[in-house]
Structure 1
């Protein structure tokens, strides 16, 4: 049923739960796991004076989160005997990058964690999972 499952991760607890589900599905269906983490190199429209330090801090934290998430998902996949490929995508717009990568790697399913943001948090911080659901032509399994 599934041959390639795309797992976006950001190193969060929610992404870890999604990784467990994705690995289980990949094991059950004999699918390959495609693990990605997206780092948006330009998360802010502009920085005030001294913003270069803030951007450097953001990028360092984003790289660390990506590494943590990918390594954790790889460990789960290895333990379950699931084949995988891992990628860090450094592109603007995580949701669009995830959907484009799903198409490029011919994923049959996207398994993504959702932080469950509501109200003002959802407006200010956005919901990558919601945007992926809206943009994707591939089925999306959302783990809360």
Structure 2
């Protein structure tokens, strides 16, 4: 029933809780996981501009910041992919740039996902306290069923 699932992650602890549910999803028929990490276009703009510090923008620092971000994302993707493959699923990796919620919904459609499994942050404003803005957007706009993995109550304190 859920042969191909979409696993969006920002590599935070709440989003990575999804890994613990992969064995159960495999028992339910999951064979492929589309691992998605969206690079927020707002972050790209900030990094590309170098930020405006006390001494202004330094071009060498822009390049170094971009390189560090790329290496960090690459490292997280490799580790997450390995963890998924150890659980016996095929992994497809996608790293779109844009608005996280919109890119997750779009990737689920393009990849033919039968289920989206997303972790919940719940760390934004009061209205979004229970889910988080990205999770809420995905729930409201996805064309597939969405399984939300709650964050630990103890982690909120």
Measured against the shorter chain, the TM-score band is: 0.7 to 0.9
- The structure with the largest alpha-carbon Rg is 2
| CA 1:138–1:11: 2 relative to 1, 3 Å | same
Aligned to 1:98: 104
1:48-99: CA deviations, max 9, x gaps?
Answer: 4539757963x4564345334422321222211111111211x220110010
TM-score, reference length from structure 2: 0.72
Contact 1:17 1:143 in 2 (8 A): yes
Unaligned runs of 5+ in 1: none
Given that residues 116 and 147 in structure 2 are in contact (C-alpha distance below 8 angstroms), is that contact kept between their aligned partners in structure 1?
A: yes
Q: CA RMSD in A?
A: 2.9
Runs of at least 5 residues in structure 2 that lack an aligned partner in the other structure: 151-157
Residue in 2 aligned with 1:116? 122
- Equivalence for 1:34: 34
Deviates more, 1:68-77 or 1:98-107: 68-77
Residues 130, 51 of structure 1: alpha-carbon distance in 2 compared, 3 angstrom cutoff = farther
- List per-residue Cα deviations over 1:96-126 (Å, max 9, x = no partner): 0010000001000011111122436959xx6
User: How many positions carry a matched residue from both structures?
Assistant: 139
2:113 to 102, 107, 112: 107
